[in-house]
Structures are given as C-alpha cells and as structure tokens.
Amino acid sequence: MDRDVERIERYLRNVNAPVAQSDSHRRQLRQQILTRIRRRETMTVRSGWWRLAAAIALIGAGAVGGSVVSTKRTLPDLVAESQQGIILTRSLALNTDVTIPLETGQAAQLNFEPNPYSLEKYLLYFYAQEDGQKIVRGDVYFTDGQRTGGGTRTDLDGALRQLGYTPCLAIIKWHVREGQALVNLRVSDDIERNYDEYRQYASGGKKMSIQYKDRRLIPASTISETERLAGFVQLWSEAKFNFAFWDRVPQVDWDAVLVEFIPKVREAKTDAQYYRVLRRCIAMLQDGHTGVWGPTDDPECRPPVEIAAVQGKAVIVRVYPAEQITQAELKNELIAANLKVGEEITQVDGRAVEQILAEDLYPYIAASTPQQRELNAYPQLARGEQATQAMLRVRDLEGRERDVRLTRGRYGFPYEERPFLCELPDGILRINLDSFDSDEIVKQFDGAFDKVLAAKGLILDLRNNGGGSSGVGYGILKRLIDKPVEGSHWKTRQYMPAFRAWGREEQWYEGTHGTIEPAEGKRYEGPEAVLTGPATASAAEDFVVAFQTGGRGKVVGRRTLGSTGQPLMIKLPGGGGARICTKRDTYPDGREFVGIGCIPDVEVAPTRADIAAGRDVVLEKAVELLQK
C-alpha cells in the first residue's frame, strides 16, 4: 500500500493544476462587497421594523465589466440600465413587494442581508409572476459563514423560513431562458400568516403559470442513450437475480421483457419518458416494495380536493379550505363548486374514472395488492399540468350529477397531526401509532404507560402507519403481551451460479424475526384492539402479524397494504433510483400476507355515507368490541 501511495504522490507532484482567474468577476465582486459594507454603515434600525439590504446583481450573458452604481439612484432606474451587470442595493421595508424584471439571458442574484439583531426568525419569500415559464432554474442557498444550506431548486418560488439561526447571506438566482420574466420578493416578519400564504401561493393558489419541471425549459434529456440502456439493463438484471416473488407473476417472461423494453428505452425522448418506461416495466412485477422513482418527480398538480377509493368508487374525502386560497378567482371557483366530502367523481375531463385508472395509472403503479394499487392511483385521478382546468363530473349521495370546473395546483392540504393519545368513553384509550420510523414513538408510549395501565381497554390505531423498522413496533408490542410471540418468518433467494449451471433448483435461505419477549416489569393485560387499513404497511404489517400471532386481541378494520420486505436499493442514471424486494415474509405458520394483506378479525369498511357524515366506523366497532 505504501508503494502505491508513494507512486501516486510522485504522479500528483508532476501534475500541473490550472491557473484560473476571472478579472471581471474579481472587480465586480470587490465593488459589490465594498458597496454593501458602506451601505451597512449608514443603516439604522427602527423599532418595529428592520431593513433588509438586498444587493441585486444582474448578470447579463457575456457581460464584461460592470459599472459602479450610486446607491442614491432608484431601483427602476437601475433596473432599466441592467444590461451590463450592475449591482443594485435597496432597502426593503417589511411586508412590501419588490418586482424585478429580467431580460433574456439574464440571471438575477439577490443577496439578502437580514439585520441579525432585530428578529430571531423571519420569512423571506419570493416567487415569479406572469411569464414565469421563461424562468428556468433557481438556485437558493444561504450561509452564515459556517453552515450552508439550500440547493438548486426547480420550483421557482419558495421561502426561507429561518428558525434557529439567522443566515447572514441568502442568494437566490433565477436564470431566464427567453423573453422577460418577473420575480417578486417579499420579506415578512409575520411568519405564520405569510408562510401559509406562501404555501398556498406555492401550491397553486395563484395565477402564475410556472411549470417548474417543464421540460421545454429545462433540458429534457440529460441522460445519454447509452446510460439509459445501461440503467435499464442494470434494473432488469437486479430484478432477475434478486426479486423474491417470481412465482407470483408467472405470466411475466422476464427475459422477453428485456427484448421488449430495449426499443422503448431507446425511443424515450426525455428523462421523464425514460423513467416512465422503467416504471411500466417494474410495475409488471406487482410488488409494493419494488419500484422506480425519477430524479425529479413531476409535481402532483390537482384540483383542490383529495380523492380516495371508497368501496371501489372515487370519492372526495377532503376539500381544500377555501379560506386558505388567497387568489380570489380560485377561491370563488372552489366555493361555487360546492363540493362535499362523500361525493363521488365519475369522470375527469370527459373520461370515465375506470378508463383513467386502467390506461393511465394502474400500468405504472407497482403494487402488491388491489388495495395498494387503489391507494396510490385514486389520488392521482384528476392530476394534470399546473393551472389547467379539470372538469369533474360529481355525483352526490342522492345520485344527482353535475359538472364542476376546478383549476389544478399544488395544494398542500394542511397536515392534521393526530394526538398520540386519546381518551375515549368508558375508560378506553386510543393510541395513534402513525409511524415506526423512529424510537421516539416507543419513548412516547413508555412515557404514557401509566395511563395505558389504567385503561379499561386499549386501541392501537395503525391505519396511518406506513412502516419503518419492525423493531420499533416490537418495542411497543412487548409491553402488551404476556407470553413470547414468534415474529414473522422470512426467506430470501440463495443463488448459486454453479448450482444453476448444473441445472439444480434455486434454494431459499430462511430466517425469522425472532421471538418477541414480553417486557419485564409491568405489562398491559386489559382488552386490546388494533385498527388497520390499506395504508398499514411494511413494518406496521409485521406488527400486526405478531399481534395476531400472540392472540391478545382483535384486529379491526380493512386489510393492510400487503407489502413488506427488504428492498435492494439501486441508483439509476440521471439521479433516480429503484428498489427490488429481496425478502418474503409470512406468518410464523407459513401463511402469506404479502400480496394479500393481513386480514382483520373483524372487517369493517366505511361507506360514502359514513365518510360524508364524518363517522369513524372502524373505531366505533373497536370500541364496541372492547366494551363487551
């Protein structure tokens, strides 16, 4: 090893590093720094306000040199002369907008220097106005000299909400491809109000037509044909030798798929099309832990409603709060639509829901079970390009139909955090276990254990639990069982090249998740129930398996997702990735649940009427069982 190191050292000492210089940049930056320092010397802070000095550098394409700009000149004057790279400074009053026009080829760089003395946190946000399609990319990053955060964004409106530390510098750049674009910025000290407004703004509440992943603006293809083929072949090969469920898809001739899909990979014109082809291919394996994702997934622009499958129908389960939409036109549109939770959507843009599912969605969704496919597909039914209109045919609970038009946007529904613990009548306690991602939930459970011990009945709600680590779930389960419970069994392929050459059948390597021992000390011994639904997945299903094996209580609700396993992660060209499921899990007695779902002891599914009335029939059933 030392000889190699000596050799490389000798080599490196003989390599001449290039001497780089950029005189124009050097001069320009020097001027910018000095101007800013001088400017700050004259700034004062008034009570209740703080001044934000924004240095705006407009860098024209091929700009050479720059001129010194007096800070006494007005912003519009300076902008009008901004062809050659002029540094502008302006003090921005709080909560006011500044609009900056950009010409073709120009990049606007805004350097923010918040006064670090007046506010601990502030909201700095920016967005593009009309003609936003001209803007190609935004780089946003901030630094306090020690830490740097941010990155390249292709969503060109955004906010820097600083909590915890105040950056001394934030740089936001927009790059304009053609025509003119307008960027807007605002600084606000009213974080809660303005952040919601920003979120609404960013999620489509405004009229702007930015396509932030628009392939017409951003190079549509960054991956060469060779790389695409290599990526596809790698994916195909990893699936061939590692996928654990070939017996579930006997109709799939995987060798033939290779030949079938190579032309499709070649024909893909853009990165997005390439990844769509890969998704189509992998979806044939029909496994929820096997899938592909692109480097920049397209934004899910939809009307301001959330759609889910209810008894096989596309039902509105949430309507975006109209009062949170700031743009009057969109707000009025939603109010006029008068949509109600529980109403069914039968058509989107003249096409039946069933047709959209069959042609546009299901073929690209990798899912182990029908319930998983529905879970993924139904929310995407009305998706489309931002700011386009969706025509929905809506059927109310009485069967009457009407058509409504709604504008698509990136509506981020307010996150409704559920309390960890709810006290129900008759001394029943409900605990919402929404994730097994982290040990924190075990700590929360242990922290509330005195209340658990005092409960006359315990309901564990796993309906929103998409998994994490099985060990986390077992950490809770051990406090609820009185005897050891065997965890799920698993197996993985044991590929032996020589055995294959000899024509021998491939073997399996088998293992178990071990035994979950009851916790020492106090344990809960009262009646228990676990609530499940189609979003109960992965490690949460491992929990349900162990719970059912232990026989301590009933599982109430709907079948779980039916997908767990150990994914093998693969990098794909262009920054996307894939995973292949390498492990099959079963109940300890060998019963399958992957591809089926854990079947509840008491199956209960809400109807449209239940959803419209806001009734949680699954919970009601569990309470009824515990009360007996």
How far CA 84 is from CA of 25, 33, 39, 73, in Å, comes to: 12, 18, 22, 16
CA distance 143 to 149: 6
| Closest C-alpha among 157, 105, 95 to residue 128 | 157
How many C-beta atoms surround the C-beta of residue 329 within 10 A? 11
Across-strand partners of 420? Answer: none
Q: Whose structure tokens read 């006011």?
A: 96
Nearer to other proteins, 24 or 332 (CB): 24
The stretch near other proteins (CB under 8 A) out of 12-20, 179-187, 189-197, 305-313 is 12-20
CB of 411 to other proteins, least distance (A): 28
Identify the residue whose tokens are 């020492």.
520
Minimum CB separation of residue 190 from other proteins in Å reads 26
Q: What is the DSSP letter of 436?
A: B
Nearer to other proteins, 62 or 350 (CB): 62
569: its two tokens: 């992660």
Choose the stretch contacting other proteins; rule: CB under 8 A; options: 105-113, 123-131, 460-468, 521-529: 105-113
First to last CA, the chain: 73
Shortest Å, Cβ 15 to other proteins: 5
| C-beta of 65 vs 447, nearer to other proteins | 65
Instruction: Out of 8, 93, 336, 352, name the contact with other proteins by CB under 8 A.
Output: 8
Segment interacting with other proteins, rule: CB under 8 A, options 23-31, 42-50, 312-320, 472-480: 23-31
Indicate the SS3 state at residue 373. helix
Please identify which residue in 51, 90, 134, 175 interacts with other proteins, judged by CB under 8 A: 175
Q: Could you say whether residue 148 binds other proteins (CB under 8 A)?
A: yes
Scan for tokens 């009262």, then name that residue.
Answer: 526
Site string (383-422) toward other proteins, x via CB under 8 A: ----------------------------------------
Judged by CB under 8 A, the residue of 75, 119, 171, 448 near other proteins is 171
Q: Which of residues 585-604 bind other proteins (CB under 8 A)?
A: none
Tell me the number of residues near other proteins by CB under 8 A: 69
Residues from 426 through 455 that contact other proteins (CB under 8 A):
none
Q: 473 burial class (0-12, 13-18, 19+ CB within 10 angstroms)?
A: buried
Name the minimum Å distance from CB 446 to other proteins: 37
Among 79, 136, 210, 235, binds other proteins (CB under 8 A): 136
* Helix residue ranges per DSSP H, 133-206: 191-200
* Contact criterion met (CB below 8 Å) for 307 and 316: yes
Distance CA 483, CA 112 (A): 62
- Would you say the C-alpha torsion 474, 479, 481, 485 has a positive or negative sign? positive
Residues 204 to 263 in contact with other proteins, rule: CB under 8 A: 218-219, 222
Return the residue of 19, 163, 256, 328 that touches other proteins, per CB under 8 A. Answer: 19
Q: How far is the CB of 363 from other proteins (least distance, A)?
A: 27
Establish if 120 lies at the interface with other proteins (CB under 8 A): no
Please name every residue paired with 56 in a beta bridge, in sequence order, or none if there are none.
Answer: 88, 110
**CB contact at 8 A, 148 and 141:** yes
Least CB distance to other proteins at residue 42 (A): 12
Apex 170 CA angle, 168 and 171, nearest 5: 145
Nearest to 158 by CA among 207, 115, 195: 195
Piece in contact with other proteins (CB under 8 A), picked from 169-177, 233-241, 515-523, 582-590 = 169-177
Contact 600, 557 (CB under 8 A): yes
What is d(CA 252, CA 241) in angstroms, rounded to the nearest whole number?
Answer: 15
Question: Which residues, numbered 176-195, are part of the site for other proteins (CB under 8 A)?
Answer: 177
Which one of the spans 24-32, 182-190, 428-436, 605-613 is the region binding other proteins (CB under 8 A)? 24-32
Q: How far is the CB of 36 from other proteins (least distance, A)?
A: 5
Choose among 301, 282, 296, 435: nearest CA to 366: 282
Task: Pick between residue 137 and residue 383 the one whose CB is nearest to other proteins.
Answer: 137
The residue within the footprint of other proteins, chosen from 147, 192, 247, 350 (CB under 8 A), is 147
Indicate which single residue of 69, 94, 105, 229 sits in contact with other proteins (rule: CB under 8 A): 105
Applying CB under 8 A, the span of 8-16, 69-77, 357-365, 459-467 interacting with other proteins comes to 8-16
What is the CB neighbour count within 10 angstroms for residue 474?
23
Among the listed ranges 3-11, 123-131, 381-389, 442-450, the one in contact with other proteins (CB under 8 A) is 3-11
Among 303, 457, 574, 606, binds other proteins (CB under 8 A): 574
Q: List CB contacts of 173: < 8 A, sequence separation 6 or more.
A: 107, 108, 109, 110, 137, 138, 139, 140
Give the residue, chosen from 143, 327, 346, 444, that forms a contact with other proteins under the rule CB under 8 A. 143
CB-wise, 270 or 346, nearer to other proteins?
270
**Of 146, 226, 350, 498, which one interacts with other proteins (CB under 8 A)?**
146
What does residue 494 show for φ and ψ, rounded to 5 degrees?
A: -125, 90
Integer CA distances (angstroms), 175 to 54, 152, 153, 158, 172, in order: 18, 11, 11, 15, 10
Question: 168, 178, 173: which is closest to 134 by C-alpha?
Answer: 178
Give the whole-angstrom CA distance, residue 179 versus residue 435: 47
Piece of 208-216, 277-285, 533-541, 568-576 that binds other proteins (CB under 8 A): 568-576
Q: Which range of residues in 21-29, 277-285, 482-490, 536-544 is near other proteins by CB under 8 A? A: 21-29
Contact with other proteins (CB under 8 A) among 81, 213, 230, 295: 295
Look up tokens 């190191």; give the residue.
Answer: 5
Instruction: Fill in the per-residue mask, 29 to 68: x = in contact with other proteins (CB under 8 A), - = not in contact.
Output: xx-xxx-xxx-xx-----------------xxxxxx----
Q: Are strands 97-102 and 181-188 parallel, antiparallel or unpaired?
A: antiparallel
Residues in contact with other proteins by the rule CB under 8 A: 1, 4-5, 7-9, 11-26, 29-30, 32-34, 36-38, 40-41, 59-64, 105-107, 111, 113, 136-137, 139, 141, 143-152, 168-169, 171, 175, 177, 218-219, 222, 295, 573-575
